[in-house]
Amino acid sequence: MLIAGLCGLLCVAVWLMLSSALSERVVTARQQAAAACTAVASRYDLSMQRSGETDVDLMHAVLDLVLIQTDGIEGGFWNSKAPSNAANGFIAYAFPTYGGSGVKRDVPEAETPLILRALKNASSARQLQSEIVTSGTDAVLAVACPVPRHVHLLAWTLTRARPPLGPYGERATAILAGVLAVIVVLALFLALTLKRWRQNLSRLEHALAPDGEFEQGKRLERFGERDLDQIVDALNRYGERAERLKRDANALNRQLAQAERFSTLGKMAAQIAHEIRNPACAMRLKAENALAGDEPARTDAIRDGPRMRGRSARVARRYRPYA
């Protein structure tokens, strides 16, 4: 929005610059056209030996001589009492600084109404008159003045208030306006893109929150943005790898618990075997002594029988819960 605002302000500044300079250019152009018209009229009057006569060749010579000194000014002579079949009363015309090929001798048709309006006003007032038509940053001026000692003869000049940037000013202004418009469009596109980025980043932030989807083990959805999708894919791969490692850890814990149970059972079995083997060996030894010995040995073995039975009972009671 800042870029778009700055471009808009620049467009307004260019437009104000061109518009404000138009009045100054119009004043300068009017002064030049009026000076040229007065010079044409006075030079023709001085060149004619007898008043009232019309010399078209002399008119062209005077026009070429005077207008060649000022670039961009065209002009001619007009007779207010010309016959109705004449070309609107125009007698002579010249544009010596015309940029085209050849000599231009045709009165500009588009500006003819403007020229005639200035000529008629000057003919009625018998003094210099000017008319102007503005179009955007351009203006066309027509100046008419009576020729001394020639009642119905008037001189006229036509000029244009050129753009301040030169003959290609309008094109340069149009190009500048186009570039600024493109910058504004790009700025708006960038603003919308950044807004969408912020929304997607907010969604990603909520998904990564302690109570978000990622912490719950859910797979994150892609946003349609290449850079953000790469981050989402990396997070999904991380989550899948963490889940796989968790499953492997649970399996290892189960195996470890089972191994610990087996170890405990082995130790218990060894202890039980030890507890059983000792009384059994003692009873076996007493029995062998009773069978193979003499009368005192048998008497002693029989006397230890209750004690052997007590030890066997204690062993049975001790390991009965594990049976």
- pLDDT at residue 308 in the model: 60
Separation between Cα atoms, residue 138 and residue 26, nearest integer Å = 9
- pLDDT at residue 303 in the model: 67
pLDDT for residue 37 is more than 80: yes
List residues bridging with 138 in a β-sheet.
135
* pLDDT tens for each residue of 244-282: 888 888 888 888 888 888 888 778 777 776 666 666 666
Separation between Cα atoms, residue 27 and residue 43, nearest integer Å = 24
Separation between Cα atoms, residue 35 and residue 41, nearest integer Å = 10
Whether CATH 3.30.450.20 fits 20-172:
yes
- pLDDT at residue 106 in the model: 85
Q: At what angle do helices 226-292 and 295-303 cross, to 10 degrees?
A: 140
Q: Which of 100, 79, 98, 99 is nearest to 90 (CA)?
A: 79
Separation between Cα atoms, residue 188 and residue 194, nearest integer Å = 10
pLDDT for residue 20 is more than 70: no
* pLDDT tens for each residue of 88-107: 889 999 998 887 766 677 88
- The mean-pLDDT minimum among 73-87, 188-202, 298-312 falls in 298-312
- pLDDT at residue 3 in the model: 74
51 to each of 28, 45, 48, 80, 147, how far by Cα in Å? Answer: 33, 8, 7, 16, 10
Q: Which of 60, 17, 34 is nearest to 159 (CA)?
A: 34
Q: pLDDT higher for 268 or 65?
A: 65
* pLDDT tens for each residue of 116-171: 999 999 999 999 999 999 876 678 999 999 998 888 899 999 998 866 555 555 66
Average pLDDT of the chain to the nearest whole number:
79
- The mean-pLDDT minimum among 10-24, 214-228, 235-249 falls in 10-24
Domain range annotation of the chain: 20-172
pLDDT band at 190 (very low <50, low <70, confident <90, very high): confident
pLDDT for residue 18 is more than 70: no
Q: pLDDT higher for 127 or 319?
A: 127
Q: What percent of the chain has pLDDT over 70?
A: 72
Separation between Cα atoms, residue 123 and residue 217, nearest integer Å = 96
Single pTM value for the model: 0.51
Collect all residues with Cβ–Cβ distance below 8 Å to 53 and sequence separation of at least 6: none
